[in-house]
């Protein structure tokens, strides 16, 4: 069964199929670990079995005795590396701690050695035979553990201010109803199907790295710093990335180790880390705790919003999500108070995971809004409507476009919301308690600097080159569509090359920026071509051909640079030098306008009256995100986002053995995500929206939009079904008994 192909509406491109679809389903698509290299050696990581302490020594003899072993790299013999900076300190590193830096163990699963052998099997065997002696200290695992250190985020990261507006306490005093509640979200792991793989291959002093990355330029820059070599001598390639969600956005420790081993051995080295190692050698979505206070008048006008957040971090790096600057922009909040805190434990460094701050922060806010609606005996959609706004009250800046209530109208109509009996527990079918809930989806519209090279050839074909990435989203397809549309070519006449650091620098594939940034750069490059052809006012095929013949050119090549306003003053070190600012658009960060995509999600849950089993028979989401480049690929992203949201509400969390600060369910059998049997009807509705200020193509980005708010919608529906408010995710059967 497949979903019908969505028809394009106003301000949407054609719903063409992905250009790599056939390559993917036939296995022709090559991922990083598939890239052929001659005579590779194979690496296997050894990771710590303690959560905190020191390595006292190794017993290498049993490992070295395994036939085919070529090298055992530890902190005692690792070749020299330069320092690497954390990405919050202007660098590219997941952590500022160098790999195999010394005997200190900062977290369970830290890389303590790497074995290289003729075969994968020999490397694995030797890795398991390597003796490691530790001096163990008791680690602090999570909230409530002994030995945590709490810091105010604004003191650690000076640029992170706690959003504030007016007198919140006065607002709460003036309120007719106040909700004051605490919410919690768990550790989650991205678990992309493609494992964390790295192949390093030297040719003289030039290094090629095949690694799935959301930012080949960033990886190149960071690795060049670490290896003390010019970035131009490193090439990072990935044709396809088999899922990332944030986990492949930063330089992890493994890459330099594989590069060093390949240099030492004088042959290519390939590493494919195991699924369980992936839980600790990259990042994760960290635990959060929230206190939310929300006040409103009897008529349902918000009087004040307070949000305090605690974010669990490792001890070595300064990562936080924040996110209250976004949630505070959602509604007409006349007063806002907030604090952010970083809580240090003995854990691997966290990193962005799909809609990093919005998922936990909006879960808390949208749950609190539902709780407030119950106190006010008001429909939760109506409560949101009464507080809809055309500006961010904290900054005073207007939205470029905002279609939140149109999304609520479309989704509630399709869902049949008006048939809802608001009384909790009132809707029942046999043994099943039926609950309906809703919440807002949102994601800020962000941009990344990007340069695209577009070449139009005399035979009426074009080539687009940009170091963007396809993390499974359809980037190849929409980038090609953009050029095809601008140049009046059919999409199959446009070749697209991405995922390679020899190409002009593309956007980081994070923050839902790829489509808006890459397509803007492509459009600007095409505009330059059209101008050179004298076709700036528009182009059709005969016009283009005539102009082409007149110029008698074999090919016309142009580079379009897109530098979003927010990046003007920021360093783009390692990126294309000489980028020019031709954005002309507003950016949520540049002090001009507020830019967000929006959606509204409605969920039906069924909770079994006796066993408390929870099911989600249907979910309806309506979304407005400016120009939709391709309604088919967009539909898939939004559907996938909602399914992930259901998983985040009901299934997904990483369990921790608090004695050793160790992840327990570090495999896909026990780390639960929704399977087909968990997901029934998922409806995606597009609400057409035009945004002429966001960026040159007016696209807002949808990669992270749809899984924001889903968890709150499910939690609100569970309350409606049962009268039980679950304030800690995931909502599992035991919490409802
Ligand atoms: Mo996404 S968490 O911005 O890679």
Tell whether 507 and 548 lie within a shared domain: yes
One domain, residues 489 and 534 = yes
User: Mind listing the pLDDT tens digit for each residue in 111-163?
Assistant: 999 999 999 999 999 999 999 999 999 999 999 999 999 999 999 998 889 99
Q: Is 352 in the pocket of ligand 1 (CB under 6 A)?
A: yes
Q: What is the pLDDT of residues 241-272, one digit of tens each?
A: 999 999 999 999 999 999 999 999 999 999 99
- Give the up-direction half-sphere exposure of residue 104: CA atoms within 13 A in the CB hemisphere: 8
Check if 214 has its Cβ closer than 6 Å to any atom of ligand 1. Answer: yes
Ligand 1 touching residue 250 (CB < 6 A): no
Q: Which of residues 512, 535, 567 is at a domain's end?
A: 567
Atom of ligand 1 nearest to the CA of 244: 4
Return d(Cα 620, Cα 392) in angstroms, integer: 27
Same domain assignment for residues 645 and 616:
yes
Q: pLDDT at position 531, please?
A: 85
State the alpha helices, DSSP H only, in 92-195.
120-129, 153-156, 168-174
On whether the CB atoms of residues 621 and 686 are closer than 8 A, the answer is no
- Does the C-beta of 510 come closer than 6 Å to ligand 1? yes
Strands 41-47 and 111-117: antiparallel
Q: Give a yes or no: residue 491 inside a domain.
A: yes
What are the φ/ψ torsions at residue 260 (nearest 5 degrees)?
-65, -45
Question: Are residues 676 and 660 part of one domain?
Answer: yes
Q: State how beta strands 269-272 and 41-47 pair.
A: parallel
CB of 218 shorter than 6 A to ligand 1: no
ipTM: 0.97
Task: Point out the catalytic residue in the list 206, 541, 704, 728.
Answer: 704
551 and 605 part of one domain: no
Q: Same structural domain for residues 654 and 733?
A: yes
Same domain, residue pair 526 and 451: yes
CA 343 – CA 320 distance, rounded (Å): 10
Q: Is 486 in the pocket of ligand 1 (CB under 6 A)?
A: no
Give the pLDDT band of residue 564 (cuts 50, 70, 90).
Answer: low
530's tokens = 């059209």
Task: Give the atom of ligand 1 at the shortest distance from the alpha carbon of 245.
Answer: 4
Cα–Cα distance between 372 and 179 in angstroms, integer? 6
Tell whether 479 is covered by a domain. yes
Q: What size, in residues, is the chain?
A: 737
Closest Cα to residue 302, out of 368, 398, 397?
368
* Helix, strand, or coil (residue 655): coil
CA of 347 from ligand 1 middle (Å) equals 20
Residue 184 domain-assigned (yes or no): no
In a domain, residue 700? The reply is: yes
Q: Which domain holds residue 424?
A: 1-30+390-443+588-737
Give the atom of ligand 1 at the shortest distance from the alpha carbon of 247: 4
Apex CA 426: angle with CA 420 and CA 430, to 5°? 105
Q: Is residue 663 part of a domain?
A: yes
Report the domain count for the chain.
2
Task: Tell me if 163 CB under 6 Å of ligand 1.
Answer: no
Residue where a domain terminates, one of 535, 567, 599:
567
Encoded tokens for 380: 């939760």
Query: Considering the domain boundaries, does residue 162 fall inside one?
Result: no
> Smallest Cα–Cα separation from 356: which of 264, 254, 245?
245
Distance between CA 324 and CA 337 in Å, rounded?
Answer: 10
Q: At what angle do helices 710-722 and 631-650 cross, to 10 degrees?
A: 50
For residue 196, the CA-to-ligand 1 centroid distance in Å is 16
- Residues 79-111: tens digit of each pLDDT: 999 999 999 998 999 999 999 999 999 999 999
Confidence of residue 15 (pLDDT cuts 50, 70, 90): very high
Tell me which of 523, 538, 567 is where a domain ends. 567
Same structural domain for residues 428 and 500? no
Q: Is residue 16 domain-resident? A: yes
What is the per-residue pLDDT for 88? 92
Cα 204 to its chain centre, rounded Å, is 36
CB 627 within 8 A of CB 688: no
CA 286–ligand 1 middle distance (angstroms): 14
Which DSSP category does 735 fall into?
H
Q: pLDDT tens-digit profile of 493-545?
A: 999 999 999 999 998 999 999 999 999 999 989 988 888 888 877 677 788 77
Measured at the CA of 336, the angle between CA 331 and CA 339, to 5 degrees, comes to 120
Distances from the Cα of 619 to the Cα of 22, 379, 439, 645, 648, angstroms: 30, 19, 11, 10, 14
- C-beta of 350 in contact with ligand 1 (< 6 A): no
Give the ligand 1 atom nearest the CA of 248. Answer: 4
Looking at residue 70, its pLDDT comes to: 98
Task: Write out the two tokens for 165.
Answer: 């507006």
Residue (of 350, 346, 312) closest to 137 by Cα position = 346
**CA 263, CA 267: separation in Å to the nearest integer?**
7
Query: Domain with 610 in it: what CATH number?
Result: 3.30.365.10
Distance 285 CA to ligand 1 centre (A): 11
Pocket test for ligand 1, best of 189, 356, 357 (most atoms within 8 A of CB): 356
Same domain as 635, residue 537: no
The helix/strand/coil state of 139 is coil
- pLDDT, tens digit, 9 for 90 and up, residues 434-458: 999 999 999 999 888 889 999 988 8
Q: Determine whether the shortest distance from the Cβ of 246 to ligand 1 is under 6 A.
A: yes
For the CA of 510, the closest atom of ligand 1 is 3
In the predicted model, is pLDDT for residue 570 greater than 80? Answer: no
Instruction: Assess whether 736 and 603 both reside in one domain.
Output: yes
Q: Are residues 679 and 617 in the same domain?
A: yes
Q: Judge contact between 247 and 283, C-beta under 8 A.
A: yes
437 and 506 share a domain?
A: no
Let me know if 704 is a catalytic residue.
yes
The 10s digit of each residue's pLDDT in 270-328 is 999 999 999 999 999 999 999 999 999 999 999 999 999 999 999 999 999 999 999 99
Confirm whether 180 is domain-assigned.
no
């Amino acid at each position: 069964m497949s979903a019908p192909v969505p028809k394009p509406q106003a301000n949407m491109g054609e719903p063409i199929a992905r250009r790599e679809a056939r390559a993917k389903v036939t296995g022709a698509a090559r991922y990083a670990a598939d890239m052929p290299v001659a005579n590779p050696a194979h690496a296997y990581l050894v990771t710590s079995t303690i959560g905190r302490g020191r390595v006292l020594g190794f017993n290498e003899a049993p490992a070295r005795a395994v036939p085919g072993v070529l090298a055992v790299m530890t902190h005692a013999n690792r070749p020299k590396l330069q320092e690497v900076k954390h990405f919050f300190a202007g660098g590219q590193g997941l952590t500022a701690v160098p790999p195999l830096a010394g005997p200190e163990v900062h977290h369970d699963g830290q890389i303590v050695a790497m074995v290289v052998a003729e075969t994968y099997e020999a490397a694995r065997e030797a890795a398991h035979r390597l003796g490691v002696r530790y001096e163990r200290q008791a680690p602090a695992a999570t909230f409530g553990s002994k030995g945590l250190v709490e810091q105010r985020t604004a003191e650690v990261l000076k640029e992170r201010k706690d959003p504030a507006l007016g007198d919140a306490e006065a607002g709460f005093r003036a309120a007719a109803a106040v909700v004051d509640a605490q919410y919690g979200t768990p550790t989650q792991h991205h678990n992309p199907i493609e494992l964390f793989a790295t192949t390093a291959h030297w040719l003289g002093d030039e290094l090629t790295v095949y690694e799935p990355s959301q930012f080949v330029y960033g990886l190149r820059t960071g690795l060049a710093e670490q290896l003390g070599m010019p970035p131009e001598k490193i090439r990072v390639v990935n044709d396809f990335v088999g899922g990332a969600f944030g986990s492949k956005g930063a330089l992890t420790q493994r890459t330099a180790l594989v590069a060093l081993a390949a240099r030492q051995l004088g042959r290519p080295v390939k590493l494919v880390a195991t699924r369980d190692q992936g839980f600790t050698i990259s990042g994760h979505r960290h635990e959060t705790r929230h206190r939310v206070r929300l006040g409103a008048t009897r008529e349902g006008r918000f009087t004040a919003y307070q949000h305090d957040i605690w974010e669990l971090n490792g001890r070595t790096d300064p990562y936080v999500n924040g996110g209250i600057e976004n949630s505070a922009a959602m509604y007409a909040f006349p007063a806002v108070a907030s604090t952010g805190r970083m809580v240090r434990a003995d854990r691997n460094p966290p990193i962005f995971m799909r809609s990093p701050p919005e998922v936990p922060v909006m879960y808390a806010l949208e749950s609190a809004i539902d709780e407030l609606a119950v106190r006010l005996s008001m429909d939760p959609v109506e409560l949101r409507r009464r507080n809809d706004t055309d500006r961010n009250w904290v900054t005073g800046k207007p939205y470029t476009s905002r279609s939140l209530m149109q999304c609520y109208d479309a989704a509630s109509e399709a869902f049949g919301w008006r048939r809802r009996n608001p009384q909790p527990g009132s809707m029942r079918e046999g043994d099943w308690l039926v609950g309906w809930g809703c919440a807002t989806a949102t994601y800020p519209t962000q941009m990344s600097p990007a340069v695209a090279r577009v070449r139009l050839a005399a035979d009426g074909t074009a080539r687009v080159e940009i170091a963007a990435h396809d993390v499974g989203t359809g980037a190849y397809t929409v980038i090609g569509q953009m050029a095809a549309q601008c140049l009046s070519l059919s999409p199959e006449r446009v070749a697209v090359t991405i995922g390679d650091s020899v190409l002009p620098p593309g956007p980081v594939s994070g923050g839902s920026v790829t489509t808006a940034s890459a397509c803007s750069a492509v459009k600007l490059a095409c505009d330059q071509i059209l101008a050179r052809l004298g076709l700036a006012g528009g182009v059709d095929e005969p016009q283009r051909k005539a102009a082409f013949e007149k110029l008698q050119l074999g090919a016309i090549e142009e580079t379009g640079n897109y530098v979003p306003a927010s990046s003007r003053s920021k360093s783009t070190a390692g990126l294309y030098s000489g980028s020019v600012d031709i954005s002309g658009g507003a950016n949520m960060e540049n002090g001009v306008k507020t830019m967000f995509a929006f959606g509204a999600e409605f969920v039906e849950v069924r909770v079994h009256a006796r066993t408390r089993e929870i099911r989600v028979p249907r979910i309806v989401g309506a979304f407005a995100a400016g120009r939709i480049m391709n309604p088919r690929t967009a539909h898939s992203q939004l559907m996938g986002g909602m399914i992930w949201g259901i998983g985040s509400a009901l299934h997904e969390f990483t369990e921790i053995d608090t004695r050793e600060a160790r992840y327990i369910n570090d495999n896909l059998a026990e780390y639960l995500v929704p399977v087909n049997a968990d997901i029934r009807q998922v409806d995606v509705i597009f609400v057409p929206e035009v945004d002429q200020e966001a960026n040159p193509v007016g696209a807002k980005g949808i990669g992270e939009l749809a899984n924001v708010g889903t968890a709150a919608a499910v939690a609100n529906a569970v309350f409606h079904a049962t009268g039980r408010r679950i304030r800690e995710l995931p909502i599992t059967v035991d919490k409802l008994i």
